[in-house]
Amino acid sequence: MTNTLHRYGSAESFQNDFIVFASPANGKNEIGSIPKLKKFLEMALPFKPVNIGDPVHGGALRPERGLNTAANWKRDKTPDLRAVIDGIDEPASVVAIFDNLKAAEEFLSVVVEADLGLSVNISASIEGAQQCCRFAGIPRHSVGYSLGFEGKTEKLPNTQMLTLTTMCGHGMISSSLAKKMIDWVKEGRRTPEEAVTYMARFCSCGVFNPLRAKHILEDARKKME
């Protein structure tokens, strides 16, 4: 079970969203797991993940203490994948995000071959996860579903905002920020690439998919044309 199951969006929007976790088990194999967690992410790099991260320090785009609000708009927008790997200093789940099925399949095959002794979880569409398992030559162990939203759903943010905010499994991307970025892109005040980097820094575990977010913002802008 993972909070990434609650990502919101159409089936088509998940064609470029493949999340692969590796986790040690508390009380079982967390001792000595840090080199294995780092190796897991190292193995992901050749397959060009769009983001990697851990829940302790965040993803490849991170907040920074000591900066005022205005500084955020002019910061370097280059994801620092190496900083994520070098910064792992305690046992925790680590994650690699891919924007295409081929990369996810090939990465999973390498992970299976390495046999690190960690629990591996794929969060994607059911079909996408099954294809990854088949490609790697392993059976699917189990499956988890999100039942979606219930209750007074009319009070929820709109579809575009939900799709953006639910890409942070810990809910650290606010609806207000998502709305602001959508509006700014529509108004031409920021490009989709710029708006995506602003939001990505708030995701505390690194599961935010910048490419998927970029497509959402581009679609929002096109609907204004």
For residue 14, what is the DSSP state?
G
Which range marks the domain in which residue 178 is found? Answer: 3-222
- Give the model's pLDDT for residue 182: 96
What does the pLDDT look like over 17-49, one tens digit per residue? 999 999 999 889 999 999 999 999 999 999 999
DSSP per-residue codes, 56-122: TTEESS---TT--HHHHTTS-----HHHHHHH--S---EEEEESSHHHHHHHHHHHHHH--S-EEEE
Q: What is the pTM of this model?
A: 0.91
pLDDT tens figures, 146-187: 888 889 999 999 999 999 999 998 889 999 999 999 999 999
Please report which confidence band the pLDDT of residue 225 belongs to, taking 50, 70 and 90 as the band edges: low
Query: What distance in Å separates the CA atoms of residue 23 and residue 215, rounded to the nearest whole number?
Result: 30
In this structure, of 64-68, 146-150, 197-201, 218-222, the range with the lowest mean pLDDT score is 64-68
Judged by DSSP in three states, 59 sits in strand
SS3 helix, strand, coil % of the chain, rounded to 5?
45, 10, 45
Calculate ∠ Cα 222-217-184, nearest 5°. 90
Q: What pLDDT, on the 0 to 100 scale, is given for residue 165?
A: 95
Q: How many domains does the chain have?
A: 1
117: left (phi over 0), alpha (psi -120 to 50) or beta: left
Q: Are 34 and 88 in contact (CB under 8 A)?
A: yes
Instruction: Report d(CA 107, CA 84) in Å as an integer.
Output: 18
* pLDDT score at 77: 83
**Based on C-alpha coordinates, what's the Rg of the chain?**
18
